[in-house]
Amino acid sequence: MSSAIDLFRRFAASMKQRTYDFTRKLRKGSARTKGEIIDSLKQFARERGTSSFTQKQYDNWKHRALCAAQITKRFGSWASAMEQAELEPMWGFLKSPVEMVETFMDCWEEHDDAPTVKALSSYLKRIGSKYTVHMYSRYFGGVRRLAQRVSDFHLGKISEAQLTERHVRQSNKRRPLPPKLRFDVLTRDNFCCLRCGRSAKIHGVALEIDHRVPVVEGGSDEMDNLETLCKDCNRGKGSSIVATEEQT
């Protein structure tokens, strides 16, 4: 028994002599805000003169805010970080519109209905697809536009080439929303800002209808792409793409 006590006393004495500096174990990225990371991505894009780059290219930059793996963890995905910085994710492969359409049709068959933005987003995440809903929006001009193309293709109205071609925006100029559509969006969102939760009635804020995928990025005036924001939150968002799930 005495030997066990002596061993414990020696162990306790050695513990007292040790100095533990837990701050050294903290990752450098813990103090970086999302705003600083986004600024870093934008700066790298300006230096390269491009709006698209890979994670490896960013990791090789000596002035990076964090490594790409840490950024992915902070934002949920590399695509989300790039899109919030108003940049185009580069995956090291060329987009295959045929593969994108096939994946879209697989989702359609699984749900036995034309996929909504939310349904497609959930499906892409579940199967681990390299594509995102925002990629579909940029290439095809929106989920509903693609659904209409698929329908027209099966009816023989368009060719396979027309089914998979990139959507060309006719104009980047935003048209005023019809009053009824604006009211429908406000009603759906309970006349509250979806970012901060404030309302015009209780907090006296000005409410605006915003495009989740900006018009300049091919965003449509469909209900799925519209949300209620107060003036402050809308100005703070700018032309960035919202990464949250769309409402159905």
pLDDT digits (tens, 9 = 90+) for 136-192: 888 888 899 999 999 999 899 998 888 988 887 655 455 688 889 999 999 999 999
- Residues of the chain with pLDDT > 70, as a percent, come to 76
Rounded Cα gap, residues 248 and 240, in angstroms: 21
Q: What single string gives the DSSP state of each residue in 62-97?
A: TT-SS-HHHHHHHHSSHHHHHHHTT-EE--SS---H
| pLDDT at position 67 | 85
| pLDDT at position 217 | 66
**75 against 44, higher pLDDT:** 44
**157 against 74, higher pLDDT:** 157
pLDDT digits (tens, 9 = 90+) for 40-62: 999 998 998 888 887 888 888 98
Residue 198 contacts residue 215 (beta carbons within 8 Å):
no
Residue 112 contacts residue 105 (beta carbons within 8 Å):
no
| pLDDT at position 6 | 64
What are the residue ranges spanned by the domains of the chain? 29-92, 97-164, 179-237
| pLDDT at position 14 | 53
Please say if the pLDDT value at position 37 is more than 50. Answer: yes
Please say if the pLDDT value at position 239 is more than 50. Answer: no
